[in-house]
Amino acid sequence: MNIDLFAQLTISGIVLGSFYALLGVSFGLIYQTSKIFHLANAIPFAAAGYGAVWSASTLHFPLWASLVFGLAVALVFGLLILILGYFPLINRNATLLSLFLVSLGLTIAFPNLLQIVFGTQNLPLQTFGADGELGSAFDNKIFTLGFMTITLIDVLKVVVAWLVVLAVVLFVNRTRSGRSITALRTNPTMAAAVGINSRRVYILVFGIGSVIAGLGGLFVTAEFVASPSMALQWTLIGFIAVFFGGIGSLTGTALGGLILGLLSQWSGLFLGVQFAPVVVFAALFIILLVRPQGLFGKAAV
Amino acid sequence: MQRKFMGRKALAVGVVFGLSGLLAACSSGTTSSETSAAPAATEAAASAAPAATEAAASEAPAAAGTCINDVFGAGGPEAGQGVTIPAGMLLAVTGQGSFFGDVMSKGALLAADQIREAGGMDYQITIGDHQSGDVPTAITETKRLISQDGIEVLQTSYGAPSEAIIPIFQEAGVLTFNGGGSSPAQLNQDLLYMNRMVYAEDPAPGALAWIHQTYPDATKLALIGTMENGVGTFKETAPAAWKALTGGEIVAAEQHDVGATDFKALAAKIKAANPDAIMTFSFGDDLGYQVKALREAGITVPIMMDEFTSQAAKIGGSAYDGVNFGVDFYSTANPNPWNQCFVAAYQAKYGEDPEYYGSNYYEQVFIVWELVKRVIAAGGDPNDAAQLQEALLADPTFKSVYGGDASTVGMVALDKVDHSISKPMGVFEVQGGVPTLITEIHKIKNGDDPMTALGPVQ
């Protein structure tokens, strides 16, 4: 085995896996609490990217402000989906399948909406410099150690992802609002009996989940571009991380994402890179077969 | 309670595998993930996008027909005035390749406007959406265009969908052009003509010869390709040409799914193979992600691509500086009078420069116009695709926005036998997102010395 190659793939796997963990926690928090297959989590992901690009190029926001604006846009879109899309259906006792279909429809429509509003062009994140000209917003430095390389944005991805995972896990386990989330997740009937307002909890988890998805969108936009179809591929990986790592466990979801990232990169040691998705799905299949609750999930009693 | 739990669990497992399938389709790129799941929704979106384009077209009138008349002669009944040609376009309206569908439709719609204003045929375009390369959708859309819209001419795009619909348009007798995903499997097909050089196959020998000439010490080549277009070049033509040129070897040959965005593992494997040069047959946005990953992996050797789009260049950013590509590249700066007429009209109508794909689909409409004029002159029926094809085969040379000079319109020729095209090709270098021609190259026959592909056609 080529040790250099293994080391580089491990670094790439950690970067990719950390990003999967971030997206997994975003979806996992929403799914575990509401049981809604919120495929439309792709919308705040893309909305954040477009919000950042638009505010930087049109409102002349500096980089930090455009990123904050992007997150705000993600939050707004996430809550709008909940309030205008899901709540009316929940009021009518709609099934989970109905909610999923709404989510799917929104996910399909949104890229087309972006295409109509912003065009089909890829939009890089550019800010106005001191010379008044639009230029690259982010200097993605490359760090080299022998054979191995890693970029600044990769380092940021890893650090931000695990800080967010830690913050969400602590929030859910250590705060009063977080315990409401746990109560609603584990026993909705009892939670309602003790006065927990499920709608408020939904708003809370959709808000947090949307902002985290927005963070993902900002990373992709800063590293590459914003484009109408930028979100779905990443969002789906987040879903898979949830079921791979473990339903009911945010920590498990995050670790599941990390393992998925490592597996997809390590597969390059033995197979062509085009087989990485096959390896990921094979691993998912085996895990669901052997441990339906996921790698780190708790079996239902 | 247990039953309810089991039901929920079954739903969860079902949905997660459904989503997994969606992701597989997404990453394969041959199916547009966001559209394949709900055709009805995308139909609406697909029809909305062309409608928006049509609206934009009516807001900003195309340039007057005068410069078109200067190039193509006067309008009138002999020029097809009064003749309506129902035409279809099979494009990537939605999905990852929607940029391509957008610029292709813009080129064709502009051509239709210009021809109408110049007193020529009324070319009525209906757009179908293959959702960025989804074959089953392409088949359905082609059948719809033929049976419901009664098209007589089809402008198709992408490789796999165009190959799949060949029996359909041949049976219906629809004259078809492909200016996007040309491929060897589309050669020698009745009623099908490609006005783009065959992807990868035609420019590869010249591009490799240029690498050999510029970097004579390079003997170790890494190849990158997809599993869709240019596979034959990736596996056979390029390795054979490199061997003939340098006596060297292919030290890495990596394929990836179309639509991939993560090339870190691929870049690491290429780097580990320590090549002297890289040639990639990837296309679309994939190239931007790929070149960025290669450079970020610390690979500094020359990279030769087989396509350039401004879209991919935006993704690649500064990583694109210094990369080369060999292709029949379109240039807005070409002083050819028709090209300048085209560029001015395109800018006036859409507020942006035309590019490679838009120009190919623009030219296709003018080829049809020329055929219509010939059939009318011969006293035939311009709505008969067989007669249009007969006119094409009688004289397969056409005016072009490629080639030419300040006083002469360029000319291109379709091959009467295999229905491919011969166009000026070149090796270009990218700096600051802008390509510059380095040298001309041309198509050679199988078995010819690849070095003879350097330079213009003799």
Residue B457: its pLDDT value, please? 61
Q: Is residue B238 within 8 Å of B208, Cβ to Cβ?
A: yes
Torsional class of B40: left (φ above 0), alpha (ψ -120 to 50), beta (otherwise) = alpha
Q: Is residue A55 part of a domain?
A: yes
Residue A195 to residues A36, A188, B282, B287, B429, Cα–Cα distance (Å): 22, 11, 58, 55, 67
Domain ranges, residue A202: 17-230
Establish how many alpha carbons lie within 13 A of residue B283's alpha carbon, considering only the half-sphere containing its beta carbon: 26
Beta carbon pairs, A and B, within 8 Å? 167
Q: Which residue of A has its CA nearest to B101?
A: A120
The pLDDT tens digits for B103-120 are 999 999 999 999 999 999
Please indicate whether, in this complex, the C-beta atoms of B265 and A267 are within 8 angstroms of each other: yes
Query: Which chain A positions have a beta carbon within 8 Å of B270's beta carbon?
Result: none
Whether residues B48 and A116 touch (CB distance < 8 A) is answered with yes
B102 in contact with chain A, both atoms CB, cutoff 8 A: yes
In tens, the pLDDT along A64-87 reads 999 999 999 999 999 999 999 999
Question: Is residue B298 classed as helix, strand or coil in its secondary structure?
Answer: coil
H/E stretch holding A178 reads: helix A176-186
Is A291 a domain residue?
Answer: no
- The low-confidence residues of chain A, meaning pLDDT below 70, are 299-301
Cα B408 from Cα B316, distance rounded (Å): 36
From chain B, pick out residues whose CB is under 8 angstroms from the CB of A45. Answer: none
Contacts of B272 in chain A (CB under 8 A): 2, 4-5, 8, 147
Spatial separation of the C-alpha atoms in residues B195 and B399, rounded to whole Å? 12
* 8 Å CB contact of B52 and A2: no
pLDDT under 50: residue ranges of chain B: 1-7, 9-13, 15-17, 19-64
A299: three-class secondary structure by DSSP: coil
Question: With an 8 Å Cβ cutoff, are B33 and A111 in contact?
Answer: no
Look up residue B43 and give its amino acid. E
Chain segment A124-139, per-residue pLDDT in tens: 999 888 777 777 777 8
> According to CATH, what is the number of the domain B39-197+333-422?
3.40.50.2300
Cross-strand partners of B326: B427
| Side chain identity at residue B223, one-letter code | L
Looking at the domain assignment, is residue A298 inside a domain?
no
Residues 312-351, chain B, touching A (beta carbon < 8 A):
314-315, 317-318
A10 in any annotated domain:
no
Nearest CB to A136 within list B269, B311, B317? B317
Give whole-number Cα distances, A70 to A49, A118, A203, A226, B378, in Å. 6, 15, 19, 12, 62
Exposed, middle or buried by CB within 10 Å (0-12, 13-18, 19+), for B40? exposed
How much is the pLDDT for B20?
46
What pLDDT, on the 0 to 100 scale, is given for residue A299? 63
pLDDT value for A300: 56
DSSP B31-95: S-HHHHT-HHHHHHHHHHHHHHHHHHHHHSPPPPTHHHHHHH---SGGGBTT-EEEEEEEE--SS
* Cβ atoms of residues A280 and A260 within 8 Å: yes
Beta-carbon separation of A277 and B27 below 8 A: yes
Q: Which residues contact A31 (CB under 8 A, 6 or more apart)?
A: A37, A38, A239, A242, A247
On whether residue A259 sits in a domain, the answer given is: no
Instruction: Give first-to-last CA distance, chain A, whole Å.
Output: 44
Please report, for chain B, the start and end positions of each structural domain, with discontinuous segments joined by +. Answer: 39-197+333-422, 204-327+424-453
B19 CB within 8 Å of a chain A CB: yes
Looking at residue B366, its pLDDT comes to 98
In this structure, is residue A145 part of a structural domain? Answer: yes
Q: Do B256 and A119 touch (CB under 8 A)?
A: no
pLDDT for residue B109: 97
Partner-chain contact B318 A136, CB within 8 Å:
yes
Q: β-pairing, B425-431 with B434-441?
A: antiparallel
- Give the separation between CA A201 and CA A176, rounded to whole angstroms: 11
CB-nearest partner of A122 from B49, B260, B311: B311
Q: Average pLDDT of chain A? A: 91
pTM (predicted TM-score): 0.83
State the total domains in chain A. 1
Was domain B204-327+424-453 assigned CATH 2.30.30.760? no
CA distance A167 to B233: 51
Judge whether A297 and A245 are in contact, CB under 8 Å.
yes
